[in-house]
Each structure stands twice: as C-alpha cells, then as structure tokens.
C-alpha cells in the first residue's frame, strides 16, 4: 500500500460506510413496510425507490469533498432530505440523516474559527431547516396532520444538527487545547535553548576576556624581559640571569591564573567565591611585578583602605584585571613611559582606581594607538558594567593615557 492510498483511506471510509448503511436500510425498508403498516416507504424497485437510491448515492459521493468545502457539502447533503421527500421516499427520507451527521461533524471540526464562525452558524441553521422541511414534507405525504409534521420536522432537524455539532465542538476544543499546550511546550523549549545559547556565548566572551587580560599582561612582561636578555647576555650575564628568572616567574604566574580560570569555568556559581582570586589588596604585588618587568611604575594609596573591605569579590577582581590590563597596555603602547597607579579610598562610599601613564619615551608605530581601542578596552568596559562600576578612559593633555574606575563601596 503506497502513501497516496494511505492518505485516501480516511477520506473514503465515512462516505463508503454511509452509502452502505443507507443502501442496506433502503433495501430492507420495503419488507418493514409490509410488516408494520405505520411505516410508509417506496416499494423495492419502484420509481420512488430508484430515486431514493440515486439521491443517497449522490449524497455519499458529495461527502468526499467535506474537507475542502465543508460548509457547501453540509448544505448539499442536507438538501437531500427535501429531494427524497419530493421523490416520494416517505419515511425513508430519514435515511439522509446519516450523511448529514458526517457533514456536520466535518464542518464544525475543520472550519477556521473565529473567521468563519458566522458562516458556520448560517450553514448549520440552513442545514437544520432543510432537514426539517424534508422531514415535514415526507410526513405530510403520508397524511399526517400538519402540526405533527412540522413538529416532527423541527425535532428531526434539531437532533441531526445540534447534538453532533455540540459533540464535534467539544472534541475540537479539547484538540485545540492539546495543540496549544504542545505549542507552549515547544515555545518554552525554544526559549530555554535560546537562553542556553546566550549563556554559552556570554561564557565564551568572559573566557576570551580573561584569557586576553592574563595573556596580555604576562606575555607583554615576558616579551620585554626576553628583549633585555638578548641585550644583556654578553654584556651583563648577571642581569641576564635575573631577567630569565623574571621570565620564569611571569610564566608560572600566567599558568597559575590560567588554571584558576579553567577551574572557575568548570564550577558554575563560584564567581562570587573570592578564594584564590585577585583582590585590590594585591595591587602592590602586581605593581612590583610590572616594575621588575622593566616598567617605571609606582603605587599610591590615599585613604585608610577601609572602603576596600566593603567592595565585593567580583568587583575587586574586575578592578585588579583593569589595572593589570592598563599596565600591559602601557608597556606595549608607551614603552619607557612613567606610570602611576592610585588606589583612592578617601571616600567611604566609593573606591577609585586610577592608572595613568605618560607619553612614550620612544616612537610608537602608527597602529599602536588604534590598538588601544581593541579587545582590552572593551573587556574593561564589560567588567565595569557587570559590577555597576563607572569606567573613564582617554588620553591626557600630556599625550599619555588615563583609565579611571569608580566602584561603589
């Protein structure tokens, strides 16, 4: 059985079943007429019987289009009641109700709501009226009183239309609710996927920023010291040995910080844990390392330092990295310039960290200043935003560069 046949089966089964049932009842009806005088219908093989068979067959065939044109099909199959009554089908007119039930179910289940709600209501009312008229005509044709025929027609029309319509509406409402829950679950899954993707992207950005800060600081120092070793190795062996020791110190420090970064990334939720992480109290060690690497730098700490203790560990790490990046930039873009690091804690509500360097003592390549606006400055701004700090960076009047970070204590 191919796919096309599989798709056709649900469409064919209801019309075929309706035709088989109504035809079988039409064949059996004459024998019931002879057994019960109250039942009146066309004799088997009579003209009225063949008209009834033709109308019921056409009615079942019309049901094949119930999915593509449900409202038109509903009115068409309902009109079969009138045709059967006019053709002399008598009580066999009620056989048209089987196809009407299928058409009502299809119409209520498949029309677009609420856009076609009025059209559906009109079609249901029209179909009910047609069934009522057909039933009333069939009953008057067998000499029933007019009032009885009208009442019977209204009852038949309401029963054939209202009850299946309510049942189909209930089933459709449950189906729509189930689809809505499925769509909601899919939307939640998509939202969660988007949040996970955003978190991954943010984590990658944080990792890149950390790696840049660590590598830029230590590798800049290593580059400066290896350059000194090259010049000292023949003229000042002792100084060369000291430079080599500093290279080893810087390399060890970089490995230690990289290991700490990897540990932090492997342990979500530990960003606030300050154990093993750099703090503002370690700026003196950072400045000393930069001084041993050949940078002319000094540290000034006006204030008592009490405000530092009220600064969170994440903000302290951000400030430490900012100073580290500034010193690396000074060594790279302003070689030989004098640097000053100021940790101002005079205001108990604010800690201000300032790094200022003078102009370069040697000519700087034309691309050097544009590099200042690369990843380093972007990373510092992101860190400041993360900790609700204020970052100010720009050239000084003397031709140097100043970076100031204001942290709320």
Chain centroid offset of residue 155 CA:
52
Q: Tell me the CA distances in angstroms from 298 to 158, 219, 325, 396, one per residue in order.
A: 97, 21, 16, 18
Domain map (residue ranges) of the chain = 3-189, 280-409
Is the model's pLDDT at 373 over the cut of 50?
A: no
Checking if the pLDDT of 371 tops 50, the result is no
Here the tokens at position 323 are 């100073």
pLDDT tens, position by position, 170-225:
988 888 888 889 888 888 888 888 887 787 677 667 666 766 666 666 667 777 77
pLDDT over threshold 60, residue 406:
yes
* pLDDT value, residue 193: 82
Alpha carbon distance 207, 262 (integer Å): 9
Say what the pLDDT of residue 341 is.
Answer: 96
**What pLDDT is stored for residue 10 in this prediction?**
66
User: Nearest 10 degrees: CA dihedral of 69, 71, 73, 78?
Assistant: 180
**Got the DSSP string for 155-206?**
HHHHHHHHHHHHHHHHHHHHHHHHHHHHHHHHHHHHHHHHHHHHHHHHHHHH
Alpha carbon of residue 137 to chain centroid? 60
For 307, the 3-state DSSP assignment is helix
User: What is the pLDDT, as a whole number, of residue 357?
Assistant: 94
Q: Between 154 and 228, where is the model more confident?
A: 154
CB-CB contact of 93 with 48 (8 Å):
no
pLDDT of residue 402: 95
Q: Any idea which of 148-162, 271-285, 295-309, 311-325 has the lowest mean pLDDT?
A: 271-285
Strands (E), 194-335: 296-300
Write the CA distances from 353 to 205, 278, 316, 372, integer angstroms. 24, 15, 10, 19
Cα 300 to Cα 345: distance, rounded to the nearest angstrom: 11
Instruction: Give me the chain's average pLDDT, please.
Output: 80
Distances (CA, A) of 332 to 198, 251, 391, 392, 402: 33, 18, 21, 20, 15
pLDDT for residue 392 is more than 90: yes
The DSSP call for residue 345 is: -
Q: Residue-wise over 188-218: b if at least 16 C-beta within 10 A, else e?
A: eeeeeeeeeeeeeeeeeebeebbebbbebbb
pLDDT digit string, tens, across residues 214-270: 666 666 777 777 777 777 777 777 777 777 777 777 776 766 666 666 655 554 444
The yes-or-no verdict on residue 372 having pLDDT over 50 is: no
Please give the pLDDT value at position 271: 44
Within the chain, what is the greatest distance between any pair of CA atoms?
135
Confidence of residue 404 (pLDDT cuts 50, 70, 90): very high
Find the angle CA(231)-CA(232)-CA(235) to the nearest 5 degrees. Answer: 110
For residues 376 and 280, the answer to whether their CB atoms sit within 8 Å is no
Three-state SS for 305? coil
Phi/psi of residue 188, each to 5°? Answer: -65, -40
Token pair for 324: 């580290």
> According to the per-residue pLDDT averaged within each range, which of 206-215, 294-303, 375-384 is highest?
294-303
Q: What is residue 240's predicted lDDT score, i.e. its pLDDT? A: 75
- pLDDT digits 0-9 by tens, 279-288: 898 999 999 9
* CATH 3.30.565.10 describes domain 280-409: yes
Distances (CA, A) of 147 to 112, 139, 144, 150, 159: 38, 10, 8, 5, 18
Burial of 272 (C-beta count, 10 Å sphere; 0-12/13-18/19+): exposed
Examine the pLDDT at 43 and tell me if it is beyond 70: yes
Short-list 404, 400, 401, 279, CA closest to 342: 404
Which segments within 12-88 are labelled E, that is strand?
none
pLDDT band at 57 (very low <50, low <70, confident <90, very high): very high
Q: Does residue 405 have a pLDDT over 90?
A: yes
Q: Write out pLDDT tens, residues 71-117.
A: 999 999 999 988 988 887 777 888 888 999 999 998 998 888 888 88
Q: Is 4 or 217 the better-scoring residue by pLDDT?
A: 217
State yes or no: pLDDT of 273 exceeds 60.
no
């Amino acid at each position: 059985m191919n796919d096309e046949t599989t798709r056709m089966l649900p469409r064919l089964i209801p019309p075929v079943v309706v035709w088989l049932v109504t035809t079988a009842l039409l064949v059996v009806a004459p024998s019931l007429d002879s057994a019960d005088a109250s039942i009146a219908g066309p004799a088997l093989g009579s003209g009225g019987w063949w008209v009834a068979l033709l109308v019921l067959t056409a009615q079942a065939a019309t049901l094949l289009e119930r999915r593509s044109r449900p409202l038109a099909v509903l009115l068409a199959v309902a009109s079969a009641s009138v045709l059967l009554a006019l053709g002399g089908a008598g009580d066999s007119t009620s056989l048209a109700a089987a196809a009407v039930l299928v058409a009502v179910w299809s119409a209520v289940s498949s029309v677009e709501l609420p856009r076609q709600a009025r059209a559906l209501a009109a079609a249901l009312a029209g179909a009910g009226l047609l069934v009522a008229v057909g039933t009333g005509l069939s009953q008057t044709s067998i000499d029933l009183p007019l009032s009885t025929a009208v009442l019977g027609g209204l009852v038949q029309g309401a029963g054939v239309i209202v009850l299946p319509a309510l049942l189909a509406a209930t089933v459709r409402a449950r189906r729509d609710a189930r689809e809505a829950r499925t769509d909601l679950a899919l939307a939640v899954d998509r939202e969660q996927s988007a949040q996970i993707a955003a978190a991954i992207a943010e984590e990658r950005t944080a990792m890149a920023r950390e790696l840049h800060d660590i590598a830029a600081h230590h590798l800049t120092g290593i580059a400066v010291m290896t350059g000194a070793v090259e010049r000292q190795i023949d003229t000042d062996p002792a100084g060369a040995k000291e430079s080599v020791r500093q290279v080893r110190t810087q390399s060890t420090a970089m490995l230690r910080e990289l290991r700490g970064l990897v540990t932090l990334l492997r342990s979500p939720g530990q960003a606030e844990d300050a154990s093993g992480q750099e703090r503002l109290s370690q700026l003196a060690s950072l400045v000393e390392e930069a001084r041993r690497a050949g940078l002319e730098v000094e540290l000034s700490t006006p204030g008592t330092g009490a405000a530092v203790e009220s600064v969170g560990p994440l903000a302290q790490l951000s400030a430490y990295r900012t100073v580290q990046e500034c010193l690396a930039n000074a060594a790279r873009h302003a070689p030989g310039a004098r640097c000053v690091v100021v940790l101002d804690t005079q205001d108990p509500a604010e800690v201000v960290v300032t790094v200022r360097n003078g102009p370069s003592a040697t000519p700087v390549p034309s691309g050097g200043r544009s590099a200042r606006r690369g990843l380093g400055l972007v990373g510092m701004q992101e860190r400041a935003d993360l900790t609700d700090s204020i970052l100010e960076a720009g050239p000084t009047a003397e031709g140097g560069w100043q970076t100031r970070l204001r942290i709320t204590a």
